[in-house]
């Protein structure tokens, strides 16, 4: 296999892999979104059982603080979920017209023998550029997805602590 062919195969493969990974990241957003829904449900439950007339008591204030912290963490998670797909730009290999134009230019400048290696190098370069853009975009999206998941778990922890304090609040 020649260096041209090696480059072409390598970059085409990693470009296709990275493009597939994009879809995997996109599909995995469902997990933090489902957890956010659960967090909202938990918050509603906590609010329903809270006795507002006892707001001045230390346990009540503690529960309010936990609920507020849970809401803030949840809003942070929502922000990061939005950021996963925010302003996503990617590159795709040249269209057929571009390849035909390149083929004619290579043939005119370097002769018939240079067409295939020239086109392979052109495609390898295109795949390399597109791969790097996908890699960068996927890395940023994966980071946002991870942060969303962590924040929603934090939100659930705060709400769980609020629920644990609820019996003490209700007994007075």
Would you say 9 or 121 has its CB closer to another protein? Answer: 121
CB of 26 to another protein, least distance (A): 10
CB of 30 to another protein, least distance (A): 18
CB of 121 to another protein, least distance (A): 5
By the rule CB under 8 A, 128 interacts with another protein: yes
Cβ(41)–Cβ(157) below 8 Å: no
* Cα–Cα distance measured from residue 124 to residue 35, given in angstroms and rounded to the nearest whole number: 41
By the rule CB under 8 A, 87 interacts with another protein: yes
Total Cβ atoms within 10 A of residue 16 = 14
By the rule CB under 8 A, 85 interacts with another protein: yes
Among 30, 44, 58, 98, binds another protein (CB under 8 A): 98
Judged by CB under 8 A, how many residues of this single chain contact another protein?
29
Structure tokens that stand for 54 in this block: 């006892």
Among 78, 61, 74, 73, CA closest to 162: 61
**114: region left, alpha or beta (phi > 0 left; psi from -120 to 50 alpha):** alpha
By the rule CB under 8 A, 135 interacts with another protein: no
81 Cβ contact list (under 8 Å, min separation 6): 29, 32, 33, 36, 144, 145, 148
Would you say 73 or 122 has its CB closer to another protein? Answer: 122
Angle at 148 between CA 22 and CA 49, to 5 degrees: 140
By the rule CB under 8 A, 121 interacts with another protein: yes
Would you say 95 or 172 has its CB closer to another protein? Answer: 95
Residues lying near another protein in the complex (CB under 8 A) are found at 85-95, 98, 101-102, 105-106, 109-110, 118, 121-122, 124-126, 128-130, 132-133
């Amino acid at each position: 296999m020649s260096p041209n062919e090696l480059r072409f195969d390598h970059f085409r493969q990693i470009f296709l892999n990275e493009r597939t990974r994009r879809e995997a990241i996109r599909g995995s957003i469902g997990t933090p979104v489902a957890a956010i829904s659960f967090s909202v449900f938990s918050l509603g439950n906590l609010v329903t059982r809270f006795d507002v007339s006892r707001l001045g008591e230390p346990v009540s204030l503690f529960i309010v603080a936990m609920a507020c912290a849970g809401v803030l963490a949840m809003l942070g998670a929502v922000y990061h979920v939005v950021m996963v797909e925010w302003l996503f730009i990617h590159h795709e290999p040249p269209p057929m017209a571009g390849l035909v134009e390149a083929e004619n230019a290579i043939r005119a400048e370097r002769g018939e023998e240079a067409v295939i290696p020239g086109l392979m190098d052109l495609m390898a370069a295109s795949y390399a550029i597109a791969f790097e853009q996908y890699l960068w975009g996927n890395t940023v999206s994966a980071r946002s997805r991870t942060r969303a998941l962590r924040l929603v778990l934090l939100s659930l922890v705060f709400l769980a602590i609020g629920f644990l304090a609820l019996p003490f609040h209700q007994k007075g």
